[in-house]
Amino acid sequence: MRHLPTRTTRTSGRTVIGALAAGLLCAAGATAPAVADSPTTAPAAAISPQSDNGLALTPPMGFNNWNSTHCRAEFNEAMVKGIADIFVEKGLKEAGYQYVNLDDCWAKPQRNADGKLEADPVRFPNGIKAVADYVHSKGLKLGIYTSAGTKTCDSVGLPGALGHEYSDAQQFADWGVDYLKYDNCNNQGVDAKKRYTTMREALEATGRPIVYSICEWGQNKPWEWAADVGNLWRTTGDISDSWGSMLSIMKQNLPLAAAAGPGHWNDPDMLEVGNGGMTDTEYRTHFSMWSVMAAPLLIGSDLRKATPETFEILSNREVIAVDQDPLGKQGAVVSSTGGRWVVAKEMEDGSRVVALFNETGSAQRISTTAKEVGLPEADAYTTRDLWQHTTYNTAGGISATVPAHGTVLLRVAADSKWAAYPPAVELGLNGSPLVEAGRSAPLTTTVTDLGRTPAKSVSATLTGPSGWQIEALSPTGTDAVPTGRALTTRWQVTPPAGTATGTYDLKLSAQYRSPTGTHVRSSVPFQAHVVVAPPAGNSYLSDLPQLSASNGWGPVEKDTSNGESKAGDGNPMTIGGTVFAKGLGVHADSAVEFYTGGACSAVTAQVGVDDETGTNGTVSFEIWADGTKVASTGVLTNAMAAQPITADVSGAQVVRLVVTDGGDGINYDHADWANLRIGC
């Protein structure tokens, strides 16, 4: 995962895998407790590792405590029962959520005299069976956790199931467990396929249907072999409650679409929706994309404290239906350029769910067609917005201006009843305005008819913060807009003199009627940035205001390395033994934007992986001038000294500094933009 000084016990537990390899296989055997069982003690009945357990025909849905509690004391019987109650009371059970899963730290540190696992007596004073009975009494199912290693992942070192597979599986079955998450820590270098297959056979030998969730973090490419072993397999390291983490995990999981299907799913880790580290727009994106990827939907927030918005997101039946579609296809990427993603999922009824997903920090037009997403040719289609819960007709165009970090989720069908619905219109903007206080910036908006039918009595409205002057320089209304045509309006936007730099919310709205008289109102929020031109001469970018910033772990740090969680928790930036006083400390995947207003010429820096990650971490650095990549380093490792990077940014309005993960996931990717300067 990441590298935090306070968690070295855990991280070192994980890095053991490659380093120890075969030598420790023997050691593990030699030190195995006397009560350990092994495949040889298994019942003699032939168990086919190829057979299908018939479970998880759609991706599992439920709850797991890890993302909200880790091992903190509030993970206990009261919490688990409380979640089960809420599943029933708030309609989540009705909506499909079924499994209530316990993660790490439910167990006592020692097995009992019979070699059996026991529940932590403080957290679960009545034992696991009592919890299972309670959960079952609500018509729900119970999940549990252990590791395919000698100990689980928590630094306390709770017992793992390696060498105890058959008795632990039987123990779980006796308690009434319905789901097992089987982790990867302290695995003693034993071959992953072997470890996970043994547990699969042990589960099967119990005769109890138990969903089997493989959690080896994608280290051994489980998408290539685990369909015959488990019902789902993690494809990545751990998610955290940040935009950068969610994004990076999504990007690792998207290309694996072909491996998923009923009974065997890619698992990009559990949901963070509601945990507070992302905006509701970002959580809607998270939930939309997990559903389009046919990912397990395991709620990771403490629902006893959740906001109405969290419930609204997690209970969206139309989005859940995308995830749970019986055809079981994972959506695939149709296109992705400049952070504008089109991902389409084929549904059992022949429709396609199309996610128009905006990775960038400003509103973007994202566009595709019915043909591109695989729909048959037709005069027109219906297109249903799964967050707005509204249906329109389209002549084939599928496009929208998508707010920063947002996702427009549409279910598009070649449906003969299309004429019953008003035409879809697309609200368009030419970019997100960058404007200096007291000065005017131009903005052009469009209201385009995507429908087969005309839009009547069309009007456009633009609103902004109080005190801002927003003036239309051309007509804001027209009698009718036919298929493929647009109402185009030119505006002038002026923030009052003295407005502080920062982002400000504006909204473009359109109103129109369908030929049959239905009134439609739609709108798109976007942001204007009040900016100041950088000073003439040479400046450190860490001293200038940022237009936007996203980061894999924690915030982007000024003049220190990245400490992974709170602002100001970094160390002096150090690359290859050299300490740098100025720069930006980031964590892949990261992007930081600066307004340069066409007035700057060059960006220079010394870049590399910070020494604090030990021997780990690979990243690559890129500098973008407006939409063009103007410099990049290729992959840099922790072993390398700081490398110079220089980019010509002449004429650019915006400079974007990007760090990617070097192709191997974001673990340990602490990247320093040291000595980062701009000449203007």
Catalytic residue among 133, 238, 626, 664: 238
Residue closer to ligand GLA (CB basis): 103 or 359 = 103
Among 153, 246, 250, 410, binds ligand GLA (CB under 6 A): 153
With 0-12 / 13-18 / 19 or more C-beta atoms within 10 angstroms meaning exposed / middle / buried, residue 116 is middle
- Angle at which helices 165-175 and 192-206 pack, to 10 degrees? 40
Please identify, among the stretches 146-154, 327-335, 553-561, 602-610, the one whose residues bind ligand GLA according to the rule CB under 6 A.
146-154
List the one residue out of 620, 655, 644 whose CA is nearest residue 634: 620
Rounded least distance, CB 104 to ligand GLA, Å = 3
Instruction: State the Cα–Cα distance between residues 630 and 658, nearest whole angstrom.
Output: 11
Residue closer to ligand GLA (CB basis): 240 or 448 = 240
Rounded least distance, CB 335 to ligand GLA, Å = 31
Cα angle, residue 63 at apex, residues 59 and 65 outer, rounded to 5°:
135
Rounded least distance, CB 66 to ligand GLA, Å = 5
Interaction between residue 357 and ligand GLA (CB under 6 A): no
Rounded least distance, CB 334 to ligand GLA, Å = 30
Give the per-residue contact string, 184-223, with ligand GLA (x = CB under 6 A; - = no). -------------------------------x-x------
Q: How many residues bind ligand GLA (CB under 6 A)?
A: 10
Q: What letter does residue 154 receive in the DSSP assignment?
A: S
Place of tokens 């996970």: 196
Whether 342 contacts 356, CB under 8 Å: yes
Among 37, 58, 65, 66, binds ligand GLA (CB under 6 A): 66
3-class state of residue 670 by DSSP: strand
Please identify, among the stretches 88-96, 134-142, 151-159, 618-626, the one whose residues bind ligand GLA according to the rule CB under 6 A.
151-159
Catalytic residue among 37, 120, 183, 669: 183
Residue closer to ligand GLA (CB basis): 232 or 408 = 232
Residue closer to ligand GLA (CB basis): 153 or 654 = 153
Query: What is the phi-psi region of residue 679: left when phi exceeds 0, alpha when psi lies from -120 to 50, beta otherwise?
Result: beta
Residues 6+ apart with CB under 8 A from 261: 227, 328, 329
Cis peptide upstream of residue 154 (ω within 30 degrees of 0): no
Rounded least distance, CB 385 to ligand GLA, Å = 33
Q: 538: how many CB neighbours lie within 10 A of its CB?
A: 11
Which residues pair with residue 60 across a beta bridge? none
Interaction between residue 238 and ligand GLA (CB under 6 A): yes
Residue closer to ligand GLA (CB basis): 14 or 405 = 14
Among 118, 154, 564, 612, binds ligand GLA (CB under 6 A): 154
Told to judge if 559 belongs to the known catalytic residues of this protein, a careful annotator would answer no
Rounded least distance, CB 119 to ligand GLA, Å = 16
Residue closer to ligand GLA (CB basis): 154 or 359 = 154
Whether 453 contacts 440, CB under 8 Å: no
Residue closer to ligand GLA (CB basis): 385 or 664 = 664
Query: What is the phi-psi region of residue 320: left when phi exceeds 0, alpha when psi lies from -120 to 50, beta otherwise?
Result: alpha
Whether 551 contacts 245, CB under 8 Å: no
Residue closer to ligand GLA (CB basis): 152 or 613 = 152
Rounded least distance, CB 503 to ligand GLA, Å = 34
3-class state of residue 93 by DSSP: helix
Give the per-residue contact string, 469-508, with ligand GLA (x = CB under 6 A; - = no). ----------------------------------------
Cα-only R_g, the chain: 27
Residues 6+ apart with CB under 8 A from 285: 246, 357, 405, 406, 407
Residue closer to ligand GLA (CB basis): 325 or 661 = 661
The most distant pair of C-alpha atoms in the chain lies apart, rounded to whole Å, by: 85
List the one residue out of 529, 533, 562, 528 whose CA is nearest residue 547: 529
Q: What are phi and psi of 353, to 5 degrees?
A: -95, 125
Rounded least distance, CB 331 to ligand GLA, Å = 23
Interaction between residue 272 and ligand GLA (CB under 6 A): no
Place of tokens 């385009």: 448
Told to judge if 183 belongs to the known catalytic residues of this protein, a careful annotator would answer yes
List the one residue out of 462, 463, 468 whose CA is nearest residue 447: 462
Give the per-residue contact string, 435-474, with ligand GLA (x = CB under 6 A; - = no). ----------------------------------------
Residues 6+ apart with CB under 8 A from 164: 33, 35, 36, 37, 111, 115
Q: What letter does residue 467 receive in the DSSP assignment?
A: T
Rounded least distance, CB 322 to ligand GLA, Å = 24
Among 37, 77, 103, 118, binds ligand GLA (CB under 6 A): 103
Please identify, among the stretches 149-157, 334-342, 373-381, 493-501, the one whose residues bind ligand GLA according to the rule CB under 6 A.
149-157
Among 37, 77, 104, 267, binds ligand GLA (CB under 6 A): 104
Which residues pair with residue 267 across a beta bridge? 234
Q: 502: how many CB neighbours lie within 10 A of its CB?
A: 12
Count of residues making up the chain: 680
Please identify, among the stretches 33-41, 152-160, 335-343, 504-512, the one whose residues bind ligand GLA according to the rule CB under 6 A.
152-160
Give the per-residue contact string, 172-191, with ligand GLA (x = CB under 6 A; - = no). -----------x--------
- Indicate which residues carry an active-site annotation: 183, 238
The footprint of ligand GLA (CB under 6 A) covers 66, 103-104, 152-154, 183, 215, 217, 238
